[in-house]
Amino acid sequence: MADIVIGSGPAGVSVAQALLARGREVVMLDGGKVLEDAARARRDAIAATAPEDWTDAARDAWQAPQFDTPDGQVRRYGSDFAMEPGVTTLSDPDGFALRASRAVGGLSNLWGAAVLPYRTADLAGWPVTAEALAPHYRAVAGFMPVAGRADDLEALLPAFPMEGRRPLPPSPQAEVLLARLDAARAALAGMGVHAGAGRQAVDAECRQCGQCLHGCPWGHIWSAARTVAELRARTGFTHRPGPPAQGFAETAEGVEVTLEDGTRLAGTRLFIAAGVLETARLLLASHPGGAGRLRLRESGYFFLPALHRWRAKRRPDAPPFTTLPQAFVEIDDPSVSPHLVHAQLYTWNAFYPRDLVASYGAKLPGSAPLWRALARRLIVAQVFLHSDHYAAVDVTLAPDGRLAATVAADPGTALVANAATARLGRALGHAGLSTLGFARRPGAPGSSFHVGGSVPMASDPAPGQADRLGRPQGLGRVHLVDASVLPSIPATTITFSVMANAHRIGTEAP
């Protein structure tokens, strides 16, 4: 019998790669959703023309569906295929913004592609260190491209060196910003701040068309769907898209998975990489010996806008440029937090002028040109906090089989956010930015998608915990390999570390 992997997102392809490398047979199950034919045709049509030949009308038509995305959803290519509506998974999604995916490649069809490793100092209570994850970061980077450069961030986060990597060319604003941050290194270090260029899971062949947040027409932003396609050519791998998994059970010979249509599949071991919500639903429905309630933890965030004070040499909205995170800034000071505070800096994108005009234009008739001009000076930091400083969410199984979620706010969030805002404001001031603290905007619980920890790994697992191979207490052949088993959620980017941990479990599982 083969091993069964539920989920084809980043964790699913990572554990599958590790199992196949050991000569194991793998059957991968997922919901099978893919980009619809009409959306694919739109994508292929614009990709057939070089970005420099696009007309304003063609670019506007390409972007329009993303501007009309329903509240609570994220859209690419004008399609909602990659994200399930909240009501599909949650009995009452109000107040909790995390969403599930049943697409090939999962939520990696939508992600911002930022990649950083964790550091051991932020993994207190974990049965795994960043050093133990290091070879698995390297293994993951063997099938996922990582663009970036060696800089001061390596000393702070050494688990994945950037030697030999190529960075994406910075956007016009980022080029100036990174030079100014580098010139201010000594002053920043004195306040516990370290900065460097963004690292992204993007091909070096990126066309810099500026459409990253609308859907790369050429697919240069890595998605796990790409790796699934590559795995299909591997001996011993079977991809079985179709009805989602409804439950699982351990048997005397191995495991059995029941699909939504009643089909039952037998396997040697089960590796669940369905995403935090779907994994929670499966576990609550299938493991009567486990807890009836799971607590999710999140690295929550807030947006902090800033205006640059320098005179631009060229307009930031004139290609070539990318709209993925351009710079990373890390605050490493126990007076702010005992953990790293991580900020991702985004330069101009087409959402900025629309948001400014929509928010303020109506209050000053005829002021739209002013807000569009101001948007060309806008740089926004998305600032993440360690899960120790953020709300937790309890989930239980509702009578209809969906999840019921209850948010438990953390009263200490504002204190850490205020300290981080002040420190980041001082640091970015050295680089020529004026932060707008009055316009700081917190993310809704779940909206960071940096969520996990529902069945945390432990060296000596108690009920509701898992061992270092992701096996919930009471189970021997079922491994959770997505963010569900992270004991905490550090502030630095989550996907790369989830993939490394999934690869580690796939490498070490009996």
Q: Which of 413, 423, 487 is nearest to 444 (CA)?
A: 413
Given a cut of 80, whether residue 288 has pLDDT beyond it is no
Kindly report the CATH class assigned to 3-508: alpha beta
Distance, in Å, from the CA atom of 91 to the CA atom of 303, rounded to the nearest integer, reads 28
Give 216: exposed, middle or buried? Use CB within 10 Å, 0-12, 13-18, 19+: buried
Q: pLDDT by residue (tens digit) across 179-221?
A: 999 999 999 999 999 999 999 999 999 999 999 999 999 999 9
Going by C-alpha positions, the residue among 505, 507, 495, 497 that lies closest to residue 134 is 497
Q: Which tens digits make up the pLDDT trace of 7-50?
A: 999 999 999 999 999 999 999 999 999 999 999 999 999 999 99
As a whole number, mean pLDDT of residues 466-483 equals: 97
Run of H or E including 382: strand 378-384
The Cα 392–Cα 412 span in angstroms is 12
Q: With 80 as the cut, is the pLDDT of residue 5 above it?
A: yes
- Residue 289, pLDDT above cutoff 70: no
Nearest to residue 112, comparing CAs of 496, 488, 504?
496
Of 488, 454, 451, 489, whose CA–CA distance to 472 is shortest? 454
pLDDT on residue 428: 98
State the chain's mean pLDDT as an integer.
96
- pLDDT-derived band at 365, boundaries 50, 70, 90: confident
pTM (predicted TM-score) = 0.97
Q: What is the DSSP string of 194-206?
A: EEEE--B-B-TT-
Residue 166: per-residue pLDDT = 94
CB atoms within 10 A of CB 360: 14
**Eight-state DSSP code of residue 431:** T
Residue spans of the domains in the chain: they are 3-508
**Segment 319-335, tens digit of pLDDT:** 999 999 999 999 999 99
| Residue 290: pLDDT band with limits 50, 70, 90 | low
C-alpha distances out from residue 429 to 180, 316, 372, Å: 10, 20, 23
Residues in the chain: 510
For the stretch 444-454, pLDDT in tens is 999 999 999 99
As a whole number of angstroms, the distance between CA 479 and CA 508 comes to: 11
**Residue whose pair of structure tokens reads 């959703």 in the numeric block:** 33
Q: For position 360, what pLDDT does the model report?
A: 86
| Spatial contact of 427 and 191, defined as CB atoms under 8 Å apart | yes
- Rounded to 5 degrees, what are φ and ψ at 55? -85, 160
The pLDDT value given to residue 364:
85
